[in-house]
Amino acid sequence: MSKRVVVAVDGPAGSGKSSVATRLAERLGVEHLDTGGMYRGFAVRCLRDGVNLEDEQEVAALVDGTDLEVSSGRVLLDGSDITGELRRSDVSAASSVIAQYPTVREYMVTLQRNMVKAAPSGAVVEGRDIGTVVLPEADVKIYLTASEPTRARRRAEQAGLSVRDGQKEVAMRDARDSARKHSPLKPAGDAVIVDTSNLNLEQTVDKVLQIVTGGVRD
Ligand code: DC
């Protein structure tokens, strides 16, 4: 594909976003930006500093002093690589809490838009609000979803949890991420919805790639 392309991939926990977005970016030869990793990275900062996560002002006060770098699938906090910490259960839960706060979101959205602007060939950007808020002008918007049991199972496998704990985590984050006041998880009006419940990774990537190549003019 010769034209610069920006693809938004949104969806709930366990829908397969990260695996699909990683492979899609490889196939298209563009950057991959995992915005969930940024919220997770900031959640690690909040947990390390022991702030009360429910206190918006305490959390917001940390945003400006946080040095977060995201590149090639790694997240650096104050210069040190914290990628290995991002998938911990306490980090997952905390990321969904701090992502409710508008000061945190404004900071992340600015960083995300700058990173996409700087990507010469374009990017596959995954998150919850990419098609709706961060990049409403994205060339293609994909909304990945899957049944709740499927998502719970995938999340449990990914995080080494029991299926029951995976189910609890997914249900809790779904409720918070979809019901929050600022930039809730929802498909953009012009997103293509892809249900991955009965598709394996390869089938999903092929399907999404077809949508992207069909939706982008050279
Ligand atoms: O995609 P993920 O599971 O790594 O995201 C972790 C949390 O970060 C998710 O529960 C909600 C939040 N998030 C968000 O609010 N907006 C985004 N664009 C990406 C993630």
CA of 35 relative to ligand 1 center, distance in Å: 7
Task: Write out the two tokens for 80.
Answer: 């040190």
Report the share of the chain in percent with pLDDT over 90.
Answer: 85
In order of 6, 173, 195, the CA distances from 144 in angstroms are 16, 16, 6
Strands 74-77 and 80-81, by their bridges, are antiparallel
Exposed/middle/buried for residue 58 (C-beta within 10 Å: 0-12, 13-18, 19+): middle
In order of 5, 62, 130, 197, 208, the CA distances from 42 in angstroms are 28, 9, 18, 30, 30
Q: Judge whether 9 and 17 are in contact, CB under 8 Å.
A: yes
Instruction: Summarize pLDDT for 133-174 with one digit per residue, the tens.
Output: 999 999 999 999 999 999 999 989 888 889 999 899 999 999
pTM: 0.94
Q: Answer whether residue 187 shows pLDDT above 60.
A: yes
The mean pLDDT value for 23-28 works out to: 96
Atom of ligand 1 nearest to the CA of 86: 4
Ligand 1 probe mutation, 101, 128, 130, 155, most atoms within 8 A of CB: 128
- When pLDDT is cut at 50, 70 and 90, the band that residue 2 belongs to is low
CA of 132 relative to ligand 1 center, distance in Å: 14
> Can you list the domains of the chain with their CATH numbers?
5-215 (3.40.50.300)
CA of 85 relative to ligand 1 center, distance in Å: 15
- When pLDDT is cut at 50, 70 and 90, the band that residue 1 belongs to is low
The set of protein residues with a Cβ atom below 6 angstroms from ligand 1 is 13, 35-36, 39-40, 95-96, 99, 127-130, 173, 177
Nearest CA to ligand 1 atom 8: 36
Nearest CA to ligand 1 atom 1: 36
Instruction: Summarize pLDDT for 76-130 with one digit per residue, the tens.
Output: 999 999 999 998 989 999 999 999 999 999 999 999 999 999 999 999 999 999 9
CA 153, 94, 77, 184 torsion-angle sign: positive
Nearest CA to ligand 1 atom 2: 36
Task: Write out the two tokens for 185.
Answer: 């998880």
